[in-house]
Structure 1
Amino acid sequence: MSNWRRSKLGLSSRIIAHRGASKDAPENTIASVEEALKQKADGVEVDIRLTSDNRVICHHDKNTKRTTGEDKLVAETTFKELKTLDCGSWFGQPWLRQRIPELKEVFSCLKNQEIFIEVKTKEEIIPYLIKDMKNYSNECITVISFYPEVIRGIKEIRQDIECNWLIAFDYKDISEEDILSRAKDIGADGIGAQNHQRLNETLVNKFRDNNLSTHVWTVDDVKSANEYLKIGIDSITTNRPLYLRNKLENLQ
Structure 2
Amino acid sequence: MAQFINFAHRGASAYCPENTMAAFRKALELGATGIETDVQRTADGRLVLIHDESLARTTGDERLVQQVNAEDLAQLDAGSWFDPSFANERVPALEELLELGRQHQLVLNLELKNGIVPYPGMEAEVIRAVRSFDMSQQVIISSFNHYSLALCKVLAPDIRTGVLYMEGLYQPWNYANTVGADSLHAFKYAILPEWVEEAAAQGIAYHPFTVNDEAEMERLLSYGVSGIITDYPDRLREVLSRKGASAT
Flag whether TM exceeds 0.5 (same fold).
yes
Aligned position for 2:214: 222
- Taking the TM superposition and a 5 Å limit, the aligned residue runs for 1:224-243 are 224-243=216-235
Partner of 1:9: none
Q: Kindly state the Cα deviation for residue 82 of structure 1 after the two structures are TM-superposed.
A: 1.0
Residue of structure 2 aligned with 1:64, choices 48, 55, 67: 55
Residues 3-152 of structure 1 aligned to structure 2 (within 5 Å)? 5-6=2-3, 13-110=4-101, 111=103, 112-121=105-114, 122=118, 124=120, 125-134=122-131, 135-152=133-150
Amino acid at match of 2:97: V
Supply the distance in 2 between the matched residues of 1:64 and 1:127 (Cα, whole angstroms): 24
5+ residue gaps, structure 1, are 7-12
Deviations 1:189-242 (CA, angstroms, capped at 9, x unpaired): 11110010x411111111122221111010010111001111100000100101
The answer on 1:200 being equivalent to 2:192 is yes
Q: State the SS of the aligned residue for 1:217.
A: coil
What is the TM-score normalised by the length of structure 2? 0.91
Letter paired with 2:192:
N
1:63 counterpart letter in structure 2: S
Give the 3-state SS of the residue equivalent to 1:109 in structure 2: helix
* Counterpart position of 2:169: 174
Give the match for residue 151 of structure 2: 153
Verify the 8 A CA contact 1:19 1:44 in the aligned structure 2: yes
- Aligned partner of 1:119: which letter? L
**Contact in 2 for aligned 1:19/1:47 (Cα 8 Å):** yes
Deviation at residue 123 of structure 1 after TM alignment: 6.2
The answer to whether the 8 A contact 2:19-2:50 is kept is yes
Q: Using the aligned pairs only, state the percent identity.
A: 28
Partner deviation per Cα, 1:22-45 (whole Å, 9 max, x = no partner):
001100000000000111101111
Q: C-alpha distance in 2, partners of 1:195/1:156?
A: 29
Aligned Cα root-mean-square deviation (Å): 1.5
CA deviation after TM superposition for structure 1 residue 182, in Å: 3.0
Deviation at 1:244, TM superposition (A): 2.4
- Which deviates further from its counterpart, 238-247 or 98-107? 238-247
Q: In 2, Cα distance between the equivalents of 1:188 and 1:220?
A: 25
TM-score (norm 1): 0.89
Measured at CA, do residues 244 and 211 of structure 1 come closer, stay the same or move farther in structure 2, by a change above 3 Å?
Answer: closer
CA contact (8 A) 1:117 1:144 kept: yes
For residues 145 and 154 of structure 2, what CA distance do their matches in structure 1 show? 15
The number of equivalent residue pairs is: 237
How far apart, in 2, do the equivalents of 1:207 and 1:123 lie? 31
Does the aligned pair in 2 maintain the 1:222–1:248 contact within 8 Å?
no
* Bigger Cα displacement from structure 2, 79-88 vs 128-137: 128-137
Report the alpha carbon displacement of residue 243 of structure 1 after superposing the two structures with TM: 2.2
* Paired amino acid for 1:24: Y
SS of aligned partner of 1:208 = helix
- The question of whether the paired residues in 2 share the 8 Å contact of 1:16 and 1:42 is answered with yes
User: CA–CA distance in 2 between the matches of 1:142 and 1:251?
Assistant: 26
* Shift in Å, 1:251: 4.6
Give structure 1 regions of 4+ aligned residues with deviation exceeding 6 angstroms: none
| CA deviations over 1:139-171 (Å, ceiling 9, x no partner) | 1111111111111111111111010111111xx
